[in-house]
Amino acid sequence: MEENNLAEQIDTFGEDHIASSSDTPLRIDAFDISDEDKISIIEENMKNILHTLGLDLTDDSLKGTPKRVAKAFVNEIFGGLNPVKKPVASTFDNKYKYKEMLVEKNISVYSTCEHHLLPIVGKAHIAYISNGTVVGLSKMNRIVDYFAKRPQVQERLTIQVVKELQIVLNTEDVACVIDAKHLCVNSRGIRDTDCSTVTSEFGGAFQKAETREEFLKYIQLDTSFEDL
């Protein structure tokens, strides 16, 4: 009976999209083996999974799938787990003395729910107020992409993006809003295809209502530029 209750609690934990920490839960030996070895191990395990599901891995369409999945997991989909791949975010002096808010909106988010390993797809919006340094615009996209490429919970991803930019820019005045669809909700379980999840993290000046509202107004502007 106790085992059944534990199993139910674990399932419910995943369904509620609860994160255990703002840091990704990595083992201390996470990088003791090479990416090549990880690909080889995952390939074998993926063969077992597909075989168990009843698929014929001698079929031309399927025989390369275990290796393709393994390479995608290590090199792409979960590449953000490896700190070696962390983007170098160079900063520059704010020589033009721009003192207002800088907003980078509609940054594409492709991540993976850590509870069901299904996609999370959406947009991130980032803002900061310079305290003397600025960062290249594309670096903000790369930071989002790096932290998104790991098994994630959206709340954690939002916090990690803000924390990283606070370190890079040496300021607390950083904010992030993410609006995303979770296929673990959209394609299974309740199967609600219309809903999305919005998370936010406001640091420093963005905790003030007027600054936060200014940021939120900016991200609502129509900047589709369809005619370009």
At residue 7, φ and ψ (nearest 5 deg) are -60, -40
Delimit the CATH 1.10.286.10 region(s) of the chain: 32-77
pTM: 0.88
Which one is catalytic: 152, 154, 160, 176?
154
Q: In the chain, what are the helix, strand and coil shares in percent, each to the nearest 5?
A: 45, 20, 35
Contact call for residues 169 and 153 (beta carbons, < 8 A): no
Q: Which of 43, 104, 114, 164 is catalytic?
A: 114
Confidence of residue 23 (pLDDT cuts 50, 70, 90): very high
Is 125 part of the annotated catalytic residue set?
A: no
Nearest CA to 91 out of 139, 144, 134 is that of 134
Would you call 40 exposed, middle or buried from its count of C-beta atoms within 10 A (0-12, 13-18, 19+)? middle
Q: Is 116 a catalytic residue?
A: yes
Other beta carbons within 10 angstroms of residue 145's beta carbon come to 19
Adjacent-strand bridge partners of 152: 113
| Average pLDDT of the chain to the nearest whole number | 91
Give the sign of the dihedral formed by CA 94, CA 132, CA 101, CA 150. Answer: positive
Provide the CATH number for the domain formed by 91-219 in this structure: 3.30.1130.10
CATH architecture of the region 32-77: Orthogonal Bundle (1.10)
What angle in degrees, to the nearest 10, is found between the helix axes of 35-52 and 65-72?
130
- In this predicted model, what pLDDT tens digit does every residue of 196-213 receive, in sequence order? 999 999 999 999 999 999
Tell me which residue has tokens 């199993």.
7
Query: Given pLDDT bands bounded at 50, 70 and 90, which one contains residue 13?
Result: low
- Please indicate whether residue 195 is annotated as part of the active site: no
Which candidate in 115, 125, 164, 176 is catalytic? 115
What pLDDT was estimated at residue 14?
57
Q: For residue 3, give Cα distances in angstroms to 9, 18, 227.
A: 10, 21, 59
Look at residue 177 in the predicted model and tell me its pLDDT: 98
| Residue 154 among the catalytic residues | yes
Query: Which residue of the set 116, 152, 164, 201 is catalytic?
Result: 116
Better-scored residue on pLDDT, 220 or 95: 220
In the predicted model, what is the mean pLDDT of residues 208-221? 96
Query: Is 2 labeled as catalytic in the residue annotation?
Result: no
Residue ranges matching CATH 3.30.1130.10 in the chain: 91-219
Catalytic member of 113, 125, 152, 160:
113
